[in-house]
């Protein structure tokens, strides 16, 4: 199937965000917002998603760039490339966890083309779903990964609800750890959504990964000043260092005083359909000395209640170790 054409579509290249919002609103479910194209074009080539109207956001300079906000936080335009984010001095200095996560995404060429908006809006990589079968997420009545022979090595440990696919993004956990805000525009104007609420699981809507609805454009991601300059940790484990999606990743931000954890946010990716905020770990370590013993407790706490499938038991010790290391080494 690989080297033939994508099916046809009408392509629009609006010159303003409002123009894009207008087009996407007008064509609703028939339309598709195109950012870097790294996820989008795969779906089109595989003929699994066939929008009639594609709205290319690449000409919208107002969606690009990293700005300082008045309150000391920063705002990253949704069309800012991953390469720009990983090499931004501002981000490296204040929010290095985001730069570290970005550097681990895909490959250099993909990071040159991909955008932060596309990265957080990208669809799950469950290969049954991406292959185009009529699974739950595709509107059908079955999950092919959740069967005795189902190839579910990459699938979830929590939040299974008919679908057992996971969040594929390396940047999303870092953004949730930083308590980022997503700025979304539709015909009625702008609204701000906490990153934690932006991602949704199959219990809320089995056919979407985010709250975005047809006609919505993610315009920017704001990172509040709260966690600037905190101690950070990011680690990703994947089969290969290049291209491969996380098997598990971990992002943490914490403030430590007198060797005691004052406050912390810690988030794991690829273990649930949404980036999983480990609130039990946060509670267990806050006020505790930052040492090996606390780190060990954190690791054990992180995996409580994990429900593996046939081929993904390995994710439990993997997550436990990553959390232990995050608390110990941040």
Partner 1 sequence: MSDKNLVTGPESFPEPRFDDGALTQVASTKASRRQFIKGVIASGAVASSAAVFLTACEPGEQGAAPAAAGGVERLLTLNVNGQMRRVDVMPNETLAMTLRYKLNLTGTKLGCDRGECGACTVLLDDVAHYSCSTLTHAARNKAITTVEGLESESGELHPVQQAMIDELGPQCGFCTPGQIMSAVALLTANPNPTRDEARLAMSGNLCRCGAYDNYLNSVMRAAEMA
Ligand X SMILES: Cc1cc2nc3c(=O)[nH]c(=O)nc-3n(C[C@H](O)[C@H](O)[C@H](O)COP(=O)(O)OP(=O)(O)OC[C@H]3O[C@@H](n4cnc5c(N)ncnc54)[C@H](O)[C@@H]3O)c2cc1C
Q: Which is nearer to partner 1, 56 or 161 (CB)?
A: 56
Question: Is the distance from CB of 300 to CB of 281 less than 8 angstroms?
Answer: no
Rounded Cα–Cα distance for residues 186 and 190 (Å): 7
By the criterion CB under 8 A, which residues form the site for partner 1? 1-13, 23, 30, 34, 37-38, 41-42, 44-48, 50, 52-54, 56, 58-59, 83, 106-110, 112-113, 125-128, 131-134, 138, 142, 144, 147, 149-151, 154, 241-245
Size of the site for ligand X (CB under 6 A): 30
Q: How far apart are CA 327 and CA 330, in angstroms?
A: 6
Task: Determine contact, residues 270/154, Cβ cutoff 8 Å.
Answer: yes
Q: Residues 154, 170, 235, 282: which binds ligand X (CB under 6 A)?
A: 170
Phi/psi at 183 (nearest 5 deg)?
-100, 120
Pick the stretch among 68-76, 111-119, 175-183, 292-300 that binds ligand X (CB under 6 A): 111-119
Distance of CA 14 to the CA centre of its chain: 26
The DSSP secondary-structure symbol of 90 reads H
Tell me the HSE value of 234 on the side-chain side, using a 13 A CA sphere: 25
Find tokens 């000391």 and name the residue: 72
Shortest Å, Cβ 240 to partner 1: 9
* 106 lies in the site for ligand X, by CB under 6 A: yes
Q: Which of partner 1, ligand X, none does residue 154 bind to, with CB < 5 to 8 Å depending on kind?
A: partner 1
Element (H, E) at 18: helix 17-27
Q: Which of partner 1, ligand X, none does residue 304 bind (CB under 5 to 8 Å by kind)?
A: none
Helix (H) or strand (E) holding 276: strand 276-277
Site for ligand X in 48-67 (CB under 6 A): 57
Give the angle 156-107-31 at the CA atoms, nearest 5°.
Answer: 70
The yes or no reply on residue 169 touching ligand X (CB under 6 A) is yes
Q: Could you say whether residue 117 binds ligand X (CB under 6 A)?
A: yes
> Minimum CB separation from ligand X for residue 171, in Å?
6
Please report, as ranges, the residues that interact with ligand X according to CB under 6 A.
Answer: 32-40, 57, 78, 105-106, 110, 114-115, 117-119, 121-122, 168-171, 212, 217-218, 243, 245
């Amino acid at each position: 199937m690989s080297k033939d054409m994508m099916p046809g579509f009408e392509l629009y290249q609006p010159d303003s965000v409002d123009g894009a919002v207008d087009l996407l609103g007008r064509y609703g479910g028939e339309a598709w917002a195109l950012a870097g194209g790294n996820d989008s074009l795969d779906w089109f080539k595989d003929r699994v998603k066939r929008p009639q109207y594609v709205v290319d956001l690449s000409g919208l300079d107002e969606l690009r760039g990293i700005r300082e906000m008045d309150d000391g936080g920063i705002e990253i335009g949704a069309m800012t490339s991953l390469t720009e984010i990983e090499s931004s001095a501002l981000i490296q200095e204040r929010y290095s966890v985001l730069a570290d996560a970005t550097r681990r995404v895909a490959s250099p060429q993909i990071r040159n083309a991909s955008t932060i908006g596309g990265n957080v809006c990208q669809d799950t990589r469950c290969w049954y779903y991406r292959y185009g079968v009529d699974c739950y997420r595709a509107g059908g009545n079955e999950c092919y990964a959740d069967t005795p022979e189902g190839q579910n090595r990459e699938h979830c440990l929590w939040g299974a609800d008919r679908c057992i696919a996971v969040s594929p993004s390396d940047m999303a956990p870092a953004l949730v750890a930083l308590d980022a805000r997503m700025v979304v525009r539709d015909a009625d104007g702008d609204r701000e959504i906490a990153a934690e609420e932006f991602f949704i699981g199959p219990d809320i809507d089995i056919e979407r990964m985010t709250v975005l609805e047809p006609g919505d454009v993610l315009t920017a991601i704001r990172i509040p000043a709260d966690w600037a300059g905190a101690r950070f940790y990011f680690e990703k484990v994947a089969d290969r260092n290049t291209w491969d999606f996380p098997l598990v990743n971990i992002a943490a931000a914490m403030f430590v005083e007198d060797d005691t954890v004052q406050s912390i946010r810690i988030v794991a990716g690829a273990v649930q359909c949404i980036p999983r905020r480990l609130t039990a770990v946060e509670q267990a370590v806050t006020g505790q000395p930052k040492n090996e013993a606390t780190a060990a407790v954190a690791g054990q706490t992180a995996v409580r209640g994990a429900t593996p499938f046939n081929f993904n038991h390995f994710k439990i010790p993997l997550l436990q170790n990553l959390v232990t290391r995050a608390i110990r080494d941040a």
